[in-house]
Amino acid sequence: MLFKKTFSPKDDERLSHLIQLKRQEKPDEAFWLKFDEEIRSKQLAALVRPQSWYDRVGKLSILIARKSAAATATASILALGIFTVSETDYFTGGQTTKSLSQTEPMLPTADDASAIDQPIFVVNDLHPQAEANEVDFSYGINATPSYEINALTKKSVPIDYQIISEPKQFTAGHINSGTDLGAKVIGTWSHF
């Protein structure tokens, strides 16, 4: 091969000088004027170039997600609301069952169940119950006892009842005031 022939360092230097003559191959000013003009228009085109398909798909996905965020949130709130409303009976029902266990004397029997379409009351003594082995004189013999009533309605016969109103307070001797709430008084007890 021709290029495998050995060359002296001087040859190497002359070759370098020869190659460096290529540095003289420079375009004139007119070339650069045209170059600047063309690159300017290409630069502007690059600034407004159409996006690639994957860029567009990505941005479209983000846009859809953003646009549907409000609708999704509304739907979620509605669904949550519906769920909460539909499950309200369940939650309050559970609490009522406990209250009823404390007021067993007021529970209607299965025979009465059909008659209990109207609300009834659960009456709770607001004074603390005395322990079995001690007597509570905190409110004295002549003190007027206070009671708390809850309107109840039937949920399922015979044992589940649901509290349908906030507790109302009244004092002994005015028990009929309970009927003001639209309830039928089915019994009174002197001691609670």
Residues making contact with another protein (CB under 8 A):
1-5, 7, 11-12, 14-27, 31-32, 35-36, 38-39, 42-43, 46-47, 49
Shorter beta-carbon distance to another protein: residue 27 or 187: 27
Closest CB 61 distance from another protein, rounded Å: 22
Cβ proximity to another protein: between 4 and 98 the closer is 4
Nearer to another protein, 16 or 190 (CB): 16
Shortest distance, CB of residue 51 to another protein, whole angstroms?
Answer: 12
Residues in the chain: 192
Considering the complex, what minimum distance in angstroms separates the CB of residue 46 from another protein? 5
- Comparison of 5 and 191: residue with beta carbon closer to another protein: 5
Q: How far is the CB of 57 from another protein (least distance, A)?
A: 20
